[in-house]
A and B are shown apart, each in its own frame.
Chain A
Amino acid sequence: MTDAAPGTSAVRAPAPENALGMALRFALILFLFVLFFTSILAAVQQWTRPVIEASLAEEKMRFINEVLPPESFDNDLLADTLVLPPAPELGTKAPGTVYRARKAGQDAALVLEAVAPDGYAGEIRLLLGISADGVITGVRVIAHQETPGLGDYIDPRKDKNRKNPWINQFTGLATPQISESEWRVTKDGGRFAYRAGATVTPRAVVAAVKKAAHFAVREKARLFAPAAEASGTGNANGAAHDP
């Protein structure tokens, strides 16, 4: 079909050439290839970096807007953050970020991450929006490994009930007005519906939302504190664990 390329190199190989020369030649060739392709990578990385950063911020903002209506705040949420040390109330094992929404200078709402450690297949990571007066503005599942088709209805994109997804039950709940026994799925005598086939998953989510919402209400002052002040309290040892 064409000139026999592999043939020529196969013929060239046994030509008298000492081992050192061959090693050097191969090393040089490999080096040139690495140099060439690494520079391509560097160029593409430079080119895409601003776009990737923008889409990461946009993705964060999209999640946040799902748990907190955009009209309820006017500050730059992604800039007004507080890094929270791991807290048992939130189920977090790594420092998490709290986004503080303010409107006209007033504390409006908090967006924080919570983890339900006891899902059917490991951790369920949640994003929770809660207003300054304790009303849950929304909950979304960020990451989970629940069984497709059974437990994954906690993610509204997988929920078959498009108009009223399961996770929307939390929206609008005033945390302080809900009694301890109501924070359960209906099967256990609580107020939260569940879908046949999976109860472990909703139980885990309900428990995690309850703990996180109570935490947000209780720790409100600290969580809303402006950046400088907050870092001061954050340095106090074990501040997050104090009841």
Chain B
Amino acid sequence: MMTKPELMKRMVKGPDGLEFEVDPLRDYYCEAPPTVMPGAYIQIVEDFFNWARSQSLWILGFGTGCGAIEMRPLMTPRFDAYRFGVAWRPTPRQANLFIISGYLSTKTLKRAIRAYEQMQNPKYVIGLGSCTINGGMYWDSYNTIKKLDEYLPVDLYIAGCMPRPEALLAGFEEMKKIIRAGKAEGANQYAENFAWYKANQKRVIHDWDMPDYNW
């Protein structure tokens, strides 16, 4: 399975001339699986946290499919999602909302899983478009998944092919309600059912060449 040369254990010569051993899968990644993040010690504090979280939705700018096109007008003055406290970020470490924008080929799914796992808690996933719900027009494709919540914990689906930017704005508002109600527990679900998610992911990703948890 792990046949890629860049992932093999090997000796590397540093710029100072010293040779040392590198085992990329152990050295570059955290081996510990994700853990459930407990809520605050008292409910009112947790509610306050959730209110604050709902006000800062930072989206990972990772367009997986054609739905990414619908996100572009939201970043510009016409629909301007920034007035709702929604912003796009270039890296997973800076984002807490992952929008799977359309179909996911198994190749992209691998990258989406890596990106999701690199995001910091608390984190949320929105499935955008029919493709993430039941395959949409790619229902009989040989390399796209049809049910996103088998592989990543989804908090909210926005239906449509494609949903218009207005639908996304409504989706953001809905997402805020879910977060404020304390029901956006996707990251904890992922940690609790980690083995189940991994088994599903490995069933469709045949050349699994990354650690089980990409943190």
- Decide whether A and B are members of one complex: no
Q: Which residues of A contact B (CB under 8 A)?
A: none
Q: Which residues of B contact A (CB under 8 A)?
A: none
